[in-house]
Chains A and B, each alone.
Chain A
Amino acid sequence: DGGITQSPKYLFRKEGQNVTLSCEQNLNHDAMYWYRQDPGQGLRLIYYSQIVNDFQKGDIAEGYSVSREKKESFPLTVTSAQKNPTAFYLCASSIQGVYYGYTFGSGTRLTVV
């Protein structure tokens, strides 16, 4: 079964530490996205990538970094520069340039203490 996998489901880190969230898809999608969900603010776009070795900043990229070395993988690093990193993070993938067929992972809940 094709799908998108985010791991781990829950992650705890101490303040000041960088942490990397994993996102892997086997849907053969070119495009991948990272969103952040906070109460009352919906899903906000952090970074997106339309093709391997290329990515663009979304609306709230500060304090985050990504890489896209393989089509299947789009890891997100939450750096110590991110002021409020505690949130629910969602990864998605889609066929490049189309509005339909977005597939979301089940998310990672990051708590920074």
Chain B
Amino acid sequence: DQQVKQNSPSLSVQEGRISILNCDYTNSMFDYFLWYKKYPAEGPTFLISISSIKDKNEDGRFTVFLNKSAKHLSLHIVPSQPGDSAVYFCAAFNDYKLSFGAGTTVTVRA
């Protein structure tokens, strides 16, 4: 049973606009939440994380929001750039391991 869910398999956004990626989780024991970016035939690379006791974390163009009561987090990318086109995975950490969502493929249009 998947504990981390990304219900939008794809997202298309115009260059310069905001990309919003969503993630839901079911396990209230998760300590940290992370977003990873992945290109085809490569391993994921870390983007940004947030502790379960925070509600927002910002790093440059990337901001992650956590709504613990709703068991929901989102990643905002502003402004979106062509190099942001990739698959984005939401991940959650507890019990010594990361659990991943199914991923959202982001396409940034020129």
Q: Please give the residue numbers on chain A whose beta carbons come within 8 Å of chain B beta carbons, in ascending order.
A: 4, 9, 31, 33, 35, 40-45, 48, 50, 58-59, 88, 90, 92, 96-97, 99-107, 109
Contact = CB atoms under 8 A, between A and B. Distances in A.
B99 interface: yes
Contacts, number: 60
B41 A43 contact: no
Give me the 5 closest cross-chain CB pairs, A-B, nearest first: A104-B43, A99-B93, A42-B102, A43-B100, A99-B32
B44 A104 contact: yes
A9 B32 CA distance: 31
B42 interface: yes
Interface string B74-110: 0000000000000001000100111111110000000
Q: Which among B42, B89, B96 has the highest number of chain A CB atoms within 10 Å?
A: B96
